[in-house]
Structure formats: C-alpha cells, structure tokens
C-alpha cells in the first residue's frame, strides 16, 4: 500500500494481523467438525445478531448502496423495509423447524420430503449464489482499495483473500462469528465517519444537502404505480421480501448460525437484532450517497477525474480524445461506484484513512468468511458425505472442511476477478442472486407449506420454474424479430416469479392429483 501514509498503513496491517490472530486463537478449539461448523452451540444470541448484521452489511452495501443512491435515488432502500416481515416469517416458522431437526445443513430436509434430487438442486443453487455473492464482494473491496492504493484490483483480491482464508480455515465458525462482531462495529463507525466528513465538506451542511437532494429527486423510493417493468416501489418490495425470506429462512449462512445458539428464543432474538441494526444503518448509506451527490454538485471539477478514470477503463488503449469524448457522455449511474473511493482518497485525513480502509475490508471480510464456512459445510455434508464417502472419521471430516473452505475462498476470488469492468456491483449481485435463489426458495416453501406434495409434483414444478427463470433471464438476448418473446418484467422480478411459479405449480399439481382417485371412484359408481 505504497500510496498510504505510514500511520494508515500501520492501522491496516494491525487490523489484518488482528483478524488472523483471532483465527489462530480459536484454532485450538477446532478438534472436530461440529466445533468447526456449529461452535458447539455456545455463542450468545447478541453476538449472533451482530454477526448476521455484519454479513448483511457487506461491501455491496458499503460501496454499492452509496453508488446507487448517487446515481439514482433511494428506491433500493425499500429492500431494507421488507426485512421485518421476512424476519417475522423466519422466526415464527423456519427457526423452530431447523432447531427441531438438528441438521446443520439447511437442505437435508428437502431430501426427506422429495428425494435426493431436491437436495442436490438446492445445494447447487446455494453454492452458485455464494460464488456470485463472494465474487461481487471481492470486486467491491478491490474497486475501492485500488483507488486508495494504486494496486491492480486482482492483486488486492488475492492479498485480502489470503487473509480471509487463513482466519476462516483456522478458526472455523467461532472465529467467523467473533471477527464479524468486531467487523460490524468497525464498519458502522467507518460509515459514520465518512458521513460526517462529507457533510462537513458541503457548503451549508445538511440543509443544503436536503435541498439539492429534493431538487434532483434523490429521496424518491420509486414510483408507487403498479409497474413491474421498472424498479418501482412494488418490484423492490417484492424482491426484498423474497430475498430476505431466502436469507433468513434457508440460506446456509444464517441457518448455520441458528444452531450456534443455546435455544430457539436466542436464535430468534439474533434475527431481530440484525433487523434493528441493519434497517437504520442501511439508511445511513443511502443518505451518504445523496450527501456525496450534493458534494460533487458543488465541486463539479472533481467529477472530471472520476469520469476520465471510468472512460479509460471502458476504452482500454483508447486515445485521449476518445476517452475524453466518452467521459462527457457518462451519467451518474455510470460512475456512482467510483465516487466514494475518490472522496476517501482526496478528502479523508491521515489517520482516519486507515480506519476507513479497515471498515471497507470489514465489510467484505465478514460476508466472505461466513460464505466460505457455509459453502464448505454444505459441500461436506450434502455432496461429499452423500455421494463420495459417508463414514468419515472426525479428523477426516475436519480436514475436508479445511480443504473445502480454502477452495471456495479461491473460487470467490476468481469470480471477483471475472467481474472487473461491470457497471454496478449492486445490480450484478441482485441479478445473480435472484436467478439462483428463486428456484431454491420456491421448492423449499413447497416442502414446508404443502404437506401433501410428493416427489413427482415437486420435480415437475421445479422443472417448469427453471424454464421460467431461464426464459426471464436470457430472453432479452433474443433478436428483434422475436421481441414479442422477451421478458417484459424488471430483472428483480425473476426471483419473485420463479419462486411463485414453483410453489403455485406444485400446489395446483398436488390438488389435481388428489382429485383423480375421487373422480375415478365416481365414474365406477356411475357405471
């Protein structure tokens, strides 16, 4: 980090060393697979709540949300507003269910209900979702640290990734949770510090920011019209509810934590603590995006540097004139993700910059570490022990978890490197997660709610749902001659429609099958 002042460099090094030290400390306790995946069920509910909050508050939130608010408005905040309803459903129905089964994997239940194919399908969707999540978060942290250090994004991902792998592999779930508690505090403080610096830099302070925001419609939550073709209020609300229900209800990252508490009540309280923390803090990040917009409106000359940087990335090897011409055409949505890193480089004083970098690292590391641990657990329980070797010794299980955790960390890095050059990190994450999670949630709800649905109806419904999800995702690639076959709905509706397609199709098929014996009996009696 050659461009950082020495004191900031020391802060960053101390933070990274502290995270690895936590992993080394808890490595002494990891003598079996249960300790590695469940922390032996001894973690207090408040710590779990902060760790879940830290997982939600990823670098996608830290960088993507201000960038989104800068480039458009607060419509994405509706995602946060949907959290309480999803949390209520999860705490009332899902958490008691998981605690009663005792299964560390969220997907074992699907095999009991519908057979091995259902469990395998859900596991595949989960692992793909995790790779998309980890990749987008690696990308987000590299995006900001590149501006602060001058190092290539790929190099940053590798260095940070190695530190994450070290403490996650050594410390297991207990290290993940306690590092996330620290990281949750650090990144919240970091966000408040940045907000204070931005507001201080705007002539007229907060009243001026509110005036600029109102004039540019920055506080809008989206159109309230029943429009499902754009990112309207209702589209984000529906997407947010289903996505948060997926997170709280069947995402291994969260389900695994429910087993680390001592009771159902403690697990439920941890979810509500996450909601109480995340909703107001996410609002701070939207406010931060609007404050940045007002700041750069008052300092338009500073935006030219950002525009030229983005244009140069879009035209590698382009001439100066071509880059300048492209820069002149860019809109706030094109360079929103670059604004906060630029502000930190130019306006954050020495000493605080190290804290901000640590906060950004915290935002990425907390989510990636939990994703690595959960992915390794799912791979071990649902794939390796299911299809390769079921009678593993305690040491073999632990060794498998070590290897799988490392591999998923490396795959997350590779995915992040592949994302370099995307327009909006938040948009990419929402699109990919919606594709992979939609079918998984629909099948899970079918298994939980429709008790009489059997294997055949569930499989048929899932196949139909997958076809619908694939069509909605890729139909926009069809040539103009087939424009009438394109998906007319907004991409965030993919998860909503995919989930409902599988669930409702399964329910209808179950009822139709239930009527067949009655109809045959009536026909026999009539003869």
CA distance 513 to 143: 53
Higher pLDDT, 77 or 525: 77
φ/ψ bin of 114: left (φ > 0), alpha (ψ from -120 to 50), beta (otherwise): alpha
Contact 323, 315 (CB under 8 A): yes
pLDDT above 70: percentage of residues in the chain: 91
Neighbours of 103 (CB within 10 A): 14
Q: How confident is the model at residue 241 (pLDDT cuts 50, 70, 90)?
A: very high
- Whether 262 and 41 have beta carbons less than 8 Å apart is answered as yes
Residues 6 or more apart from 27 whose CB is under 8 A from it? 170, 171, 172, 175
Mean pLDDT over the full length of the chain = 82
**pLDDT single digits (tens) 116-127:** 888 888 888 888
For the segment 68-97, the average pLDDT, to the nearest whole number, is 90
φ, ψ at 59 (rounded to 5°) = -65, -20
Average pLDDT in the 261-287 region? 90
Is a pLDDT exceeding 90 seen at residue 238? yes
Cα 80 from chain centre: 13
Q: Which of 55-64, 153-162, 399-408, 517-526 has the lowest mean pLDDT?
A: 517-526
- pLDDT confidence of residue 1: 40
Whole-number Å distance between alpha carbons of 43 and 267: 10
Q: Using alpha carbons, list the distances in angstroms from residue 250 to 92, 191, 221.
A: 14, 29, 28
What is the reported pTM? 0.79
Which of 366, 383, 429, 379 is closest to 406 using CA atoms?
Answer: 379
Run of H or E residues at 236: helix 233-250
Residue pLDDT, tens place only, 429-459: 556 666 666 678 888 888 888 888 888 999 9
Rounded-to-integer distance, Cα 312 and Cα 323, Å: 6
Of the given ranges (57-66, 79-88, 231-240, 310-319), which has the lowest mean pLDDT?
57-66
- Residue 272, pLDDT > 90, answer yes
Query: Quick one: pLDDT at residue 438?
Result: 63
Q: What is the pLDDT averaged over residues 203-231?
A: 88
Burial, 387: exposed, middle or buried (Cβ in 10 Å; 0-12, 13-18, 19+)? exposed
Query: What's the maximum distance between 2 C-alpha atoms anywhere in the chain?
Result: 93
- The mean pLDDT value for 391-420 works out to 85
- Give φ, ψ of 217 to 5 degrees: 60, 40
Domains and CATH numbers, the chain: 6-513 (1.20.1730.10)
Residue with tokens 């400390």: 25
Q: Is the pLDDT of residue 214 over 50?
A: yes
Question: Using CA atoms, how far apart are residues 93 and 449, in angstroms rounded to an integer?
Answer: 10
What are 329-385's pLDDT values in tens digits? Answer: 888 888 887 888 788 878 888 778 888 888 777 777 777 888 888 888 888 888 888
- Of residues 166, 137, 142, 141, the one with CA closest to residue 154: 142
Q: What is the DSSP string of 374-421?
A: HHHHHIIIIIIIIII-S---HHHHHHHHHHHHHHHHHHHHHHHHHTTT
Torsion angle in degrees (nearest 10) through CA of 398, 403, 409, 414: -160
């Amino acid at each position: 980090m050659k461009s950082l002042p020495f004191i900031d460099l020391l802060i960053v090094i101390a933070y990274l060393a502290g995270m690895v030290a936590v992993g080394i400390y808890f490595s002494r306790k990891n003598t079996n697979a249960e300790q590695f995946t469940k922390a032996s069920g001894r973690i207090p509910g408040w710590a779990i709540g902060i760790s879940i909050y830290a997982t939600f508050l990823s670098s996608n939130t830290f960088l993507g949300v201000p960038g989104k608010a800068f480039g458009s408005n607060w419509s994405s905040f509706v995602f946060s507003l949907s959290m309480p309803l999803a949390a209520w459903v999860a705490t009332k129905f899902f958490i008691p269910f998981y605690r009663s089964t005792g299964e560390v994997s969220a997907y074992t239940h699907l095999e009991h209900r519908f057979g091995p194919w259902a469990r395998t399908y859900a596991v595949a969707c989960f692992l793909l979702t995790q790779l998309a999540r980890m990749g987008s978060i690696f990308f987000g942290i590299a995006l900001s640290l590149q501006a602060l250090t001058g190092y290539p994004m790929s190099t940053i991902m590798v260095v940070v990734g190695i530190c994450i792998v070290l403490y996650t592999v050594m410390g297991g779930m207990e290290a993940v949770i306690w590092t996330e508690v620290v990281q949750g505090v650090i990144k919240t403080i970091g966000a408040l510090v940045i907000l204070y610096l931005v507001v201080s830099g705007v002539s007229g302070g907060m009243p001026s920011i509110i005036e600029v925001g109102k004039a540019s419609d920055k506080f809008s939550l989206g159109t309230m019209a029943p429009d499902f073709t754009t990112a309207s209020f209702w589209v984000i609300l529906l997407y947010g509810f289903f996505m948060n229900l997926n997170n709280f209800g069947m995402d291994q990252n969260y389900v695994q934590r429910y087993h680390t508490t001592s009771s159902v009540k403690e697990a439920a309280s941890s979810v509500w603590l996450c909601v109480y923390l995340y909703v107001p803090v996410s609002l701070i990040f939207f406010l931060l995006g609007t404050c940045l917009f007002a700041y750069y409106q008052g300092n338009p000359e500073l935006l030219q540097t950002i525009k030229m940087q983005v244009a140069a990335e879009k035209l590698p090897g382009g001439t100066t004139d071509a880059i300048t011409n492209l820069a002149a055409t860019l809109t706030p949505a094109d360079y929103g993700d670059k604004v906060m890193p630029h502000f930190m480089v130019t306006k954050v004083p020495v000493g605080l910059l190290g804290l901000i970098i640590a906060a950004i690292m915290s935002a990425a590391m907390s989510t990636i570490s939990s994703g690595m641990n959960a992915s390794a657990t799912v791979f071990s329980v649902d794939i390796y022990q299911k299809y390769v070797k079921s009678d593993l010794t305690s040491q073999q299980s632990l060794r498998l978890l070590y290897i799988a955790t490392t591999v998923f960390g490396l795959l997350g890095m590779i995915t992040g490197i592949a994302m370099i050059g995307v327009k909006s990190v938040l948009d990419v994450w929402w699109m990919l997660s919606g594709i992979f999670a939609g079918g998984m949630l629909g099948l899970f709800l079918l298994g939980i709610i429709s008790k009489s649905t059997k294997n055949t109806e569930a499989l048929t419904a899932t196949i139909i749902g997958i076809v619908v999800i694939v069509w909605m995702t890729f139909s926009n690639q069809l040539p103009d001659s087939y424009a009438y076959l394109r998906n007319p709905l907004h991409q965030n509706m993919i998860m909503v429609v995919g989930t409902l397609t599988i669930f409702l199709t399964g329910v209808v098929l179950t009822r139709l099958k239930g009527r067949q014996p009655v109809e045959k009996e009536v026909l026999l009696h009539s003869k």
